Structure 1
Amino acid sequence: MKVSLRAGERIYINGAVLRVDRKVSIELVNDVMFLLEGQVMQASDATTAMRQLYFVVQLMLMNPTDVRDPMALYRPHHAALLALCENREMLDGLNAIDELVGSTRYFEALKRIRALFPVEQAILAGAMIDSPFEAA
């Protein structure tokens, strides 16, 4: 896989943070877990339940050799979302995310979570008639 980076941009590869000083293309020739700087969510931006889930899975991807602590956060958070959710799209997404996390496919899990951000936003804005989150 070939990745192009701009000057000053960071890439997170298997727990290491690399910053380039000039425009560069790199080729990743084996399987690695990586995130581009633009895909990294800061803790202060994890302001909703799905964004918090994203942040926790991101921690797993950024340090794949030690997922113990993030997994301890992931399990109860994911379980709470499943327990509160009634919306079919959200439930299907949460189940798919859990399968991806269980098979250490963290990048794909992050993509699936990002795809649910608009659904969550619509729910929070009250735009959905069939509210997926009910108080337990």
Structure 2
Amino acid sequence: MKISLRAGERIYINGAVLRVDRKVSLELVNDVMFLLEGQVMQASDATTALRQLYFIVQLMLINPTDIRDASALYAQHHSALVAVCESREMLEGLAAADELVETTRYFEALKRIRALFPVEQAILAGAATDSPSEAA
């Protein structure tokens, strides 16, 4: 896999953070877990339940040598989301993401979770319009 980075951009590879000082192309010649800087969610951006799940999986990908705590947190958070979710699309997406996490395909799981962000936003927007204060 070939990746091009701009000057100052970061890439997270198997727990290491690399920052390049000039435009560079990298060729990853073996199987590694990586995230580009633009795909990394900051803790302050994990403002919804689904974004928090994304952040937890991201931790598992960024630090693959120590995922025990993150795995336990993921299992709890995922179960809680499934328990309260009524949207079929959301439940199917969470199940697919869970299968990917179980097989340590964290990058693909992140993509699957990220695809659910608009669904969650629509659910939250619907909940906001159904609040008692707005019905009065």
Between 19-28 and 118-127, report the one with greater CA deviation: 118-127
Q: How does 1:32-71 map onto structure 2 within 5 Å?
A: 32-71=32-71
Unaligned runs of 5+ in 2: 128-136
CA RMSD of aligned residues (A): 0.8
Match of 2:114 in 1: 114
CA–CA separation in structure 2 for the residues paired with 1:88 and 1:114: 17
CA–CA separation in structure 2 for the residues paired with 1:92 and 1:71: 20
Q: Deviations over 1:76-105 (max 9, x none)?
A: 100000100111100000111110000000
Give the deviation of 1:68 after TM superposition: 0.4
Match of 2:97 in 1: 97
Which structure features the higher share of helix residues?
2
Match of 1:17 in 2: 17
Please give the secondary structure, in 2, of the residue aligned with 1:126: helix
Q: What is the identity percentage for the equivalent residue pairs of Structure 1 and Structure 2?
A: 85
Q: 4+ residue runs of structure 1 moved beyond 3 angstroms?
A: none
Q: TM-score, normalised by structure 2?
A: 0.92
Please give the secondary structure, in 2, of the residue aligned with 1:26: strand
Give the deviation of 1:72 after TM superposition: 1.4
Q: TM-score, normalised by structure 1?
A: 0.92
Query: What count of residue pairs does the alignment treat as equivalent?
Result: 127
Larger radius of gyration, structure 1 or 2? 2
Unaligned runs of 5+ in 1: 128-136
